[in-house]
Every structure is written in C-alpha cells, then in structure tokens.
Amino acid sequence: MSENDITIIEGSGNVFIDLGFPPAEAEVMKLRAEVMIRMQQFLKAQGWTQAETARQLGITQPRVSRLLKHKVEDFSLDMLLTLAARAGLHPELRLIA
C-alpha cells in the first residue's frame, strides 16, 4: 500500500455517526462517552481507589472498573449523570437547536 492508495475522509464530529449509528442514538452515545471521560478525569484527580470510588458512588468495585474502562454500553446516560452527582459533580444539560 502506498500513500496514493490512502483516502482521508473528514469526520462528522461524532465518531458514533461515523461508525454508522443512527443520528439520535449517536448523540446519546456521544453524551455518555463525554460523561464517562469527565468522570474518569474527576475520579483520578480525587485519588480514590476503586473501592473508595465504589463506596462514594454506591456501586460495586467491578462496576467502577467498567466505568473507568469506558464500557459505554454498560451505562445509561441517566445512570452516568446520577453517578456524577454522587461523586460531587453538578451535571448540566443544554439543548441546542
């Protein structure tokens, strides 16, 4: 394969749309991924162990592990927002037309 054989296609700004998910589902998946990333950053900054995180969030340690590994398919947006609030974050939702 040479450089001439490579085609570059600009992304849509939502990887889930680019992967072929329907637009509405892709938006929710993008939001879930964003909340997971922010949660991981926040939890890392707290310096909590997974066991401490589990106690703070009211979930099991294996569930914390799945959260930290970005297992998007394991968490609804509602649950992620609940966990963010339990962690001490203040989730906010904006709808843009």
Over the stretch 54-92, which tens digit does the pLDDT of each residue have? 999 999 999 999 999 999 889 999 999 999 999 999 999
Tell me if 26 is assigned to some domain.
Answer: yes
Tell me if 92 is assigned to some domain.
Answer: no
pLDDT band at 1; cut points 50, 70, 90: low
Domains identified in the chain, total number: 1
Structural domain of 26: 21-87
Provide the mean pLDDT of the chain.
92
Average of pLDDT values for 13-18?
Answer: 90
pTM: 0.81
From CA 32, how far away is CA 89, in angstroms rounded?
A: 15
CATH number for position 66: 1.10.260.40
Q: Is the model more confident about 1 or about 75?
A: 75
